[in-house]
């Protein structure tokens, strides 16, 4: 089964889990300065089942984080991946990650979703940079000063949660130029 078909299956299960038995856990609030966008502290696991405390467990001095909220947004994330890989090779200390940012579901539903994604991504290197977050999405977006989950977000952040740059949607030449300028400015 290809990655897209498998992710569609997972999306279907998400709908079932939300309606059928996926009870929402208590919503967490992320502390943040309302004037400054910040990547808030969150817990997640990559598809190799390694646990992370983000943002401090990001491996780069700077990290390009590609966040999607529903499966169909993977196409837009994919527009960024060649540039992200190129930047990782060009810029010392830069890493990139894919973060599916999902609502909090019951542990059994989370395990099912993660197993579905894991089986659709056989490459351990891609699994290592795919960290699933099951969190209060609205609070998370609020901390980052992002308005909606209607499209993906790309965010340049350090391990302290400082946000240097952000963009919404597919990669464009203008967004690439803006990102490169932000990386240059952040490294000074």
Q: How confident is the model at residue 3 (pLDDT cuts 50, 70, 90)?
A: low
3-state DSSP assignment of residue 33: coil
Q: What is the pLDDT of residues 6-30, one digit of tens each?
A: 444 444 444 433 433 333 333 344 4
What b-and-e string marks burial along 3-42, b requiring 16 or more CB atoms within 10 Å of the CB? beebbbebeebbeebeeeebeeeeeeebebeeeebbbbeb
On average, the pLDDT of the chain sits at: 86
Q: What is the pLDDT of residues 150-181, one digit of tens each?
A: 999 999 999 999 999 999 999 999 999 999 99
pLDDT for 41 beyond 70: yes
Q: What is the pLDDT of residue 36?
A: 85
Bridge partner residues of 54 (DSSP): 42
Q: What is the pLDDT of residue 61?
A: 97
Q: How confident is the model at residue 34 (pLDDT cuts 50, 70, 90)?
A: low
Q: What is the pLDDT of residue 29?
A: 45
Distance of CA 159 to the CA centre of its chain: 15
What is d(CA 101, CA 44) in angstroms, rounded to the nearest whole number?
A: 10
Mean pLDDT of 116-139: 93
């Amino acid at each position: 089964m290809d990655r897209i078909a498998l992710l569609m299956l997972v999306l279907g299960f998400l709908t079932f889990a939300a309606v059928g038995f996926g009870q929402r856990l208590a919503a967490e609030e992320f502390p943040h300065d309302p004037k400054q966008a910040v990547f808030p502290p969150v817990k997640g696991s990559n598809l190799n089942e390694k646990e992370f405390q983000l943002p401090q467990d990001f491996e780069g001095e700077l990290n390009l984080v590609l966040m999607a909220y529903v499966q169909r947004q993977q196409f837009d994330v994919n527009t960024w991946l060649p540039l992200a890989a190129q930047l990782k090779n060009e810029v010392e200390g830069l890493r990139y990650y894919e973060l599916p940012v999902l609502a909090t579901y019951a542990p059994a539903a989370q395990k099912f979703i993660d197993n579905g994604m894991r089986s659709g991504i056989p490459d351990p290197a891609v699994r290592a940079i795919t960290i699933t977050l099951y969190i209060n999405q609205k609070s998370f977006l609020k901390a980052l000063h992002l308005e909606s989950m209607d499209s993906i977000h790309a965010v340049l952040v350090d391990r302290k949660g400082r946000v240097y740059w952000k963009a919404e949607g597919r990669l464009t030449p203008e967004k690439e130029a803006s990102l490169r300028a932000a990386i240059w400015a952040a490294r000074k």
